[in-house]
Protein backbone atom coordinates (compact mmCIF):
# COMPACT_ATOMS: atom_id res chain seq x y z
CA UNK A 1 0.00 0.00 0.00
CA UNK A 2 2.81 2.34 0.84
CA UNK A 3 4.59 1.54 -2.40
CA UNK A 4 1.39 2.23 -4.33
CA UNK A 5 0.99 5.68 -2.72
CA UNK A 6 4.61 6.46 -3.47
CA UNK A 7 4.09 5.59 -7.12
CA UNK A 8 0.98 7.77 -7.34
CA UNK A 9 2.77 10.69 -5.71
CA UNK A 10 5.63 10.38 -8.17
CA UNK A 11 3.17 10.33 -11.08
CA UNK A 12 1.33 13.46 -9.91
CA UNK A 13 4.61 15.27 -9.32
CA UNK A 14 5.82 14.33 -12.78
CA UNK A 15 2.59 15.63 -14.40
CA UNK A 16 2.81 18.88 -12.45
CA UNK A 17 6.38 19.44 -13.53
CA UNK A 18 5.42 18.76 -17.13
CA UNK A 19 2.54 21.25 -16.98
CA UNK A 20 4.80 23.86 -15.43
CA UNK A 21 7.34 23.38 -18.20
CA UNK A 22 4.68 23.82 -20.89
CA UNK A 23 3.30 26.93 -19.22
CA UNK A 24 6.75 28.47 -19.11
CA UNK A 25 7.30 27.69 -22.78
CA UNK A 26 4.00 29.31 -23.78
CA UNK A 27 5.14 32.68 -22.34
CA UNK A 28 8.39 32.95 -24.29
CA UNK A 29 8.04 36.05 -26.51
CA UNK A 30 8.20 35.47 -30.31
CA UNK A 31 11.36 36.69 -32.01
CA UNK A 32 11.04 39.03 -35.04
CA UNK A 33 12.29 37.67 -38.35
CA UNK A 34 15.29 39.59 -39.72
CA UNK A 35 13.38 40.99 -42.79
CA UNK A 36 10.15 42.04 -41.09
CA UNK A 37 9.24 45.78 -41.29
CA UNK A 38 9.50 47.72 -38.09
CA UNK A 39 6.48 49.92 -37.30
CA UNK A 40 7.24 53.63 -37.57
CA UNK A 41 10.28 53.12 -39.81
CA UNK A 42 9.03 55.50 -42.58
CA UNK A 43 11.53 58.34 -42.95
CA UNK A 44 10.31 61.90 -42.39
CA UNK A 45 9.74 63.89 -45.59
CA UNK A 46 9.52 67.49 -46.74
CA UNK A 47 7.35 68.73 -49.63
CA UNK A 48 8.22 71.97 -51.45
CA UNK A 49 6.95 73.80 -54.53
CA UNK A 50 9.13 75.54 -57.10
CA UNK A 51 8.39 77.90 -59.98
CA UNK A 52 10.40 79.47 -62.76
CA UNK A 53 9.78 81.90 -65.62
CA UNK A 54 12.04 82.07 -68.66
CA UNK A 55 11.59 85.16 -70.83
CA UNK A 56 12.52 85.16 -74.50
CA UNK A 57 11.97 87.41 -77.49
CA UNK A 58 9.70 85.71 -80.04
CA UNK A 59 11.31 84.61 -83.28
CA UNK A 60 8.29 83.59 -85.37
CA UNK A 61 4.92 85.20 -86.15
CA UNK A 62 1.64 83.68 -87.30
CA UNK A 63 -0.64 86.02 -89.23
CA UNK A 64 -4.32 85.02 -89.42
CA UNK A 65 -6.10 86.28 -92.53
CA UNK A 66 -9.76 86.35 -93.51
CA UNK A 67 -10.93 86.33 -97.14
CA UNK A 68 -14.64 86.95 -97.61
CA UNK A 69 -16.99 87.39 -100.60
CA UNK A 70 -20.72 88.05 -100.99
CA UNK A 71 -22.94 87.18 -103.94
CA UNK A 72 -26.56 86.45 -104.79
CA UNK A 73 -25.77 82.77 -105.39
CA UNK A 74 -23.59 80.37 -103.47
CA UNK A 75 -21.67 79.47 -106.62
CA UNK A 76 -20.78 83.08 -107.33
CA UNK A 77 -19.74 83.68 -103.71
CA UNK A 78 -17.43 80.66 -103.81
CA UNK A 79 -15.98 81.60 -107.19
CA UNK A 80 -15.25 85.17 -106.16
CA UNK A 81 -13.61 84.00 -102.94
CA UNK A 82 -11.50 81.45 -104.80
CA UNK A 83 -10.20 84.24 -107.02
CA UNK A 84 -9.33 86.37 -103.99
CA UNK A 85 -7.55 83.49 -102.28
CA UNK A 86 -5.51 82.77 -105.41
CA UNK A 87 -4.45 86.43 -105.56
CA UNK A 88 -3.46 86.45 -101.88
CA UNK A 89 -1.41 83.26 -102.23
CA UNK A 90 0.29 84.62 -105.36
CA UNK A 91 1.31 87.75 -103.47
CA UNK A 92 2.57 85.73 -100.50
CA UNK A 93 4.66 83.60 -102.86
CA UNK A 94 6.18 86.77 -104.30
CA UNK A 95 7.19 87.66 -100.73
CA UNK A 96 9.01 84.29 -100.45
CA UNK A 97 6.40 82.79 -98.11
CA UNK A 98 6.76 79.06 -98.81
CA UNK A 99 3.83 76.69 -99.20
CA UNK A 100 4.57 74.90 -95.92
CA UNK A 101 4.25 78.26 -94.14
CA UNK A 102 0.59 78.60 -95.18
CA UNK A 103 -2.38 76.60 -93.98
CA UNK A 104 -6.14 76.88 -94.23
CA UNK A 105 -7.70 77.08 -90.76
CA UNK A 106 -11.35 77.51 -91.75
CA UNK A 107 -13.81 77.54 -94.63
CA UNK A 108 -17.47 78.56 -94.48
CA UNK A 109 -20.35 79.19 -96.86
CA UNK A 110 -23.68 80.45 -95.56
CA UNK A 111 -26.63 82.57 -96.48
CA UNK A 112 -27.45 85.75 -94.61
CA UNK A 113 -30.99 86.62 -93.56
CA UNK A 114 -32.93 89.68 -92.45
CA UNK A 115 -35.44 89.35 -89.64
CA UNK A 116 -38.52 91.58 -89.91
CA UNK A 117 -41.98 91.15 -88.38
CA UNK A 118 -41.03 87.69 -87.20
CA UNK A 119 -40.18 86.58 -90.72
CA UNK A 120 -36.80 85.62 -92.11
CA UNK A 121 -35.91 87.12 -95.48
CA UNK A 122 -32.96 85.55 -97.36
CA UNK A 123 -30.14 87.80 -98.48
CA UNK A 124 -26.75 87.18 -100.08
CA UNK A 125 -24.52 84.15 -99.71
CA UNK A 126 -21.26 84.68 -97.87
CA UNK A 127 -18.14 82.61 -98.51
CA UNK A 128 -15.24 82.92 -96.08
CA UNK A 129 -11.84 81.30 -95.88
CA UNK A 130 -9.37 81.65 -93.01
CA UNK A 131 -5.67 81.38 -93.74
CA UNK A 132 -2.76 81.31 -91.29
CA UNK A 133 0.66 82.41 -92.53
CA UNK A 134 3.90 81.70 -90.68
CA UNK A 135 6.45 84.49 -90.92
CA UNK A 136 9.90 83.32 -89.81
CA UNK A 137 11.29 86.86 -89.87
CA UNK A 138 8.97 88.66 -87.47
CA UNK A 139 10.28 92.03 -88.63
CA UNK A 140 8.34 91.35 -91.86
CA UNK A 141 5.05 90.47 -90.15
CA UNK A 142 3.57 93.91 -90.83
CA UNK A 143 4.73 93.84 -94.44
CA UNK A 144 3.12 90.44 -94.99
CA UNK A 145 -0.15 91.55 -93.38
CA UNK A 146 -0.34 94.69 -95.54
CA UNK A 147 0.52 92.79 -98.72
CA UNK A 148 -2.21 90.23 -98.05
CA UNK A 149 -4.83 92.97 -97.59
CA UNK A 150 -3.69 94.70 -100.76
CA UNK A 151 -4.01 91.41 -102.64
CA UNK A 152 -7.60 90.78 -101.51
CA UNK A 153 -7.74 89.67 -97.87
CA UNK A 154 -10.70 91.37 -96.23
CA UNK A 155 -9.53 91.17 -92.61
CA UNK A 156 -6.61 90.32 -90.37
CA UNK A 157 -7.93 88.27 -87.48
CA UNK A 158 -4.77 88.45 -85.39
CA UNK A 159 -0.99 88.13 -85.27
CA UNK A 160 0.38 85.56 -82.84
CA UNK A 161 4.02 85.42 -81.77
CA UNK A 162 5.84 82.29 -80.66
CA UNK A 163 9.21 80.57 -80.30
CA UNK A 164 10.59 78.22 -82.95
CA UNK A 165 12.18 75.99 -80.31
CA UNK A 166 9.60 76.38 -77.56
CA UNK A 167 10.30 72.87 -76.23
CA UNK A 168 13.90 73.78 -75.36
CA UNK A 169 12.75 76.88 -73.45
CA UNK A 170 10.10 74.83 -71.62
CA UNK A 171 12.77 72.35 -70.52
CA UNK A 172 14.95 75.19 -69.26
CA UNK A 173 12.04 76.59 -67.23
CA UNK A 174 11.36 73.11 -65.82
CA UNK A 175 15.01 72.66 -64.80
CA UNK A 176 14.96 76.00 -62.98
CA UNK A 177 11.66 75.18 -61.28
CA UNK A 178 13.12 71.92 -59.92
CA UNK A 179 16.20 73.78 -58.66
CA UNK A 180 13.91 76.29 -56.93
CA UNK A 181 11.89 73.51 -55.29
CA UNK A 182 15.06 71.75 -54.07
CA UNK A 183 16.43 74.98 -52.58
CA UNK A 184 13.15 75.52 -50.73
CA UNK A 185 13.15 71.93 -49.47
CA UNK A 186 16.73 72.31 -48.21
CA UNK A 187 15.82 75.56 -46.46
CA UNK A 188 12.85 73.91 -44.76
CA UNK A 189 14.95 70.91 -43.68
CA UNK A 190 17.70 73.16 -42.31
CA UNK A 191 15.13 75.13 -40.34
CA UNK A 192 14.04 71.88 -38.71
CA UNK A 193 17.61 70.86 -37.92
CA UNK A 194 17.66 68.22 -40.64
CA UNK A 195 19.26 67.69 -44.06
CA UNK A 196 17.94 66.35 -47.36
CA UNK A 197 18.57 62.63 -47.73
CA UNK A 198 17.20 61.86 -51.19
CA UNK A 199 14.58 63.04 -53.66
CA UNK A 200 11.52 60.76 -53.63
CA UNK A 201 9.22 62.38 -56.18
CA UNK A 202 8.99 65.37 -58.55
CA UNK A 203 5.67 66.32 -60.14
CA UNK A 204 5.05 69.03 -62.73
CA UNK A 205 2.00 70.92 -61.51
CA UNK A 206 1.37 73.61 -64.13
CA UNK A 207 0.45 72.16 -67.52
CA UNK A 208 -1.91 74.92 -68.61
CA UNK A 209 -1.09 76.46 -71.99
CA UNK A 210 0.76 79.75 -71.73
CA UNK A 211 -0.96 82.51 -73.73
CA UNK A 212 1.06 83.72 -76.70
CA UNK A 213 1.23 87.47 -77.35
CA UNK A 214 -1.37 88.35 -79.97
CA UNK A 215 -2.37 91.47 -81.81
CA UNK A 216 -6.02 91.49 -82.85
CA UNK A 217 -6.88 93.35 -86.04
CA UNK A 218 -10.38 92.20 -86.80
CA UNK A 219 -11.50 95.28 -88.71
CA UNK A 220 -10.83 95.36 -92.46
CA UNK A 221 -7.69 97.34 -93.27
CA UNK A 222 -7.25 99.91 -96.00
CA UNK A 223 -4.83 99.02 -98.76
CA UNK A 224 -2.56 101.94 -97.97
CA UNK A 225 -2.28 101.12 -94.27
CA UNK A 226 1.17 100.55 -92.81
CA UNK A 227 0.99 98.11 -89.92
CA UNK A 228 3.45 98.61 -87.06
CA UNK A 229 4.14 95.34 -85.22
CA UNK A 230 5.48 95.17 -81.64
CA UNK A 231 6.10 91.51 -80.74
CA UNK A 232 7.03 92.11 -77.08
CA UNK A 233 8.38 89.21 -75.03
CA UNK A 234 7.19 85.69 -74.26
CA UNK A 235 7.14 84.22 -70.73
CA UNK A 236 7.46 80.44 -70.43
CA UNK A 237 6.45 79.19 -66.98
CA UNK A 238 7.01 75.92 -65.12
CA UNK A 239 5.88 74.75 -61.68
CA UNK A 240 6.77 71.57 -59.80
CA UNK A 241 6.18 69.89 -56.44
CA UNK A 242 9.16 68.05 -54.93
CA UNK A 243 9.05 65.44 -52.16
CA UNK A 244 12.29 64.48 -50.39
CA UNK A 245 13.21 62.37 -47.38
CA UNK A 246 15.19 64.07 -44.61
CA UNK A 247 17.59 62.79 -41.97
Residues of the chain with pLDDT under 70: 1-41, 206-226
CB 246 within 8 A of CB 45: yes
CB 161 within 8 A of CB 234: yes
If asked whether residues 235 and 203 sit together in one domain, one would say yes
* Alpha-carbon distances, residue 18 vs 26, 113, 123 (angstroms): 13, 108, 112
CATH number at residue 218: 3.30.110.170
If asked whether residues 50 and 171 sit together in one domain, one would say yes
pLDDT at 24: 38
DSSP run (H or E) holding 128: strand 119-135
Tell which of 135, 162, 189 closes a domain: 162
| Axis crossing angle, helix 141-151 with helix 74-94, rounded to the nearest 10 | 140
If asked whether residues 70 and 103 sit together in one domain, one would say yes
CB 221 within 8 A of CB 142: no
pLDDT at 234: 95
Tell which of 162, 195, 223 closes a domain: 162
If asked whether residues 171 and 233 sit together in one domain, one would say yes
Is 86 inside any structural domain? yes
Is 26 inside any structural domain? no
pLDDT at 224: 54
CB atoms inside a 10 Å sphere around CB 136: 13
Tell which of 162, 185, 206 closes a domain: 162
With 0.75 as the threshold, say if the pTM is over it: no
If asked whether residues 119 and 136 sit together in one domain, one would say yes
Look up the domain containing 170 and give its range: 43-58+163-247
Is 1 inside any structural domain? no
Amino acid sequence: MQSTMTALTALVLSAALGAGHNASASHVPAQSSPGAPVPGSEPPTVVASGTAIVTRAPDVAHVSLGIESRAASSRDAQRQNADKIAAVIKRLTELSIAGDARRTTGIRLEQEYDMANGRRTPKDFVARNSLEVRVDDIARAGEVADAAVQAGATSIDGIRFDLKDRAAVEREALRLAVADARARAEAAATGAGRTIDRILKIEETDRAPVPRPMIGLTAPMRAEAVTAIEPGLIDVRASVTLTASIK
